[in-house]
Amino acid sequence: MAGPLEALGIIRVLPDGRWELPAPALFRAAEELAAFDFPLDRRIHLMEQLRAHSVQMADLLVGFFVDHMWPPTVTERVDDPAAWEALTQAVDRLRPLATTSVVALLDIAMVRAAERAAEQMLVGEGGAGAEMTRGSPPADGVPADGTPPGDAVDAEGDPADGSGPADGNGTHG
């Protein structure tokens, strides 16, 4: 059992046979998938796909950093600890921003995908929910675009309810 988990980076088998959890939240997610009683081969395949996509996202974000934020002083002064410290601090600031962006985008995409799947299942079966349309309000109150009610903005980023421009803290008024 450790082989697939180790290959996915969910665990690291130590020389003494104990397991290390590089990302405990990932291990908990794998446990939750197991609790749903999905077949093991499907869970492994899903995690392989998620891992591959996360590697692609990491490469994209690091490429952005290198192209737009890499301080020229680091390249010029490879032996300067202060330059490397500045680079490390920049990466440390980038990581939570990247993580927040990815999680928010995934949340929006999940809402949209779940809504599409439900509509396809209900309409495809011709059941009681067949009259549901894309414009119908979902049960959780989140519009089809994934934007929670009250967070709608216009093209300039101001609240779409006409209450005025948003301030720098994400509020308005």
The confidence band for 80, taking pLDDT boundaries of 50, 70 and 90, is confident
Average pLDDT, the chain: 76
Q: Give start and end residues of each alpha helix (H) in 36-80.
A: 40-68, 72-76
Q: Which among 62-66, 78-82, 98-102, 121-125 has the top mean pLDDT?
A: 98-102
Query: Is 159 strand, coil or helix?
Result: strand
CA 88 to chain CA centroid, Å, is 23
Average confidence (pLDDT) over 17-32: 88
% of the chain exceeding 70 in pLDDT: 66
Query: Is 19 strand, coil or helix?
Result: strand
For residues 165 and 173, what is the distance between their CA atoms, to the nearest angstrom?
7
Q: What is the pLDDT of residue 33?
A: 82
Element containing residue 20 per DSSP (H, E): strand 19-20
Residue scoring higher pLDDT (11 or 126)? 11
% of the chain exceeding 90 in pLDDT: 26
Instruction: Say whether pLDDT at 4 is over 50.
Output: yes
Instruction: Say whether pLDDT at 108 is over 90.
Output: yes
Residue type, 88: T
Instruction: Say whether pLDDT at 15 is over 90.
Output: yes
Q: Provide the sign of the torsion angle of the four alpha carbons 140, 141, 147, 148, taken in this order.
A: negative
Q: Give me the count of residues in the chain.
A: 173
For residues 117 and 68, what is the distance between their CA atoms, to the nearest angstrom?
38
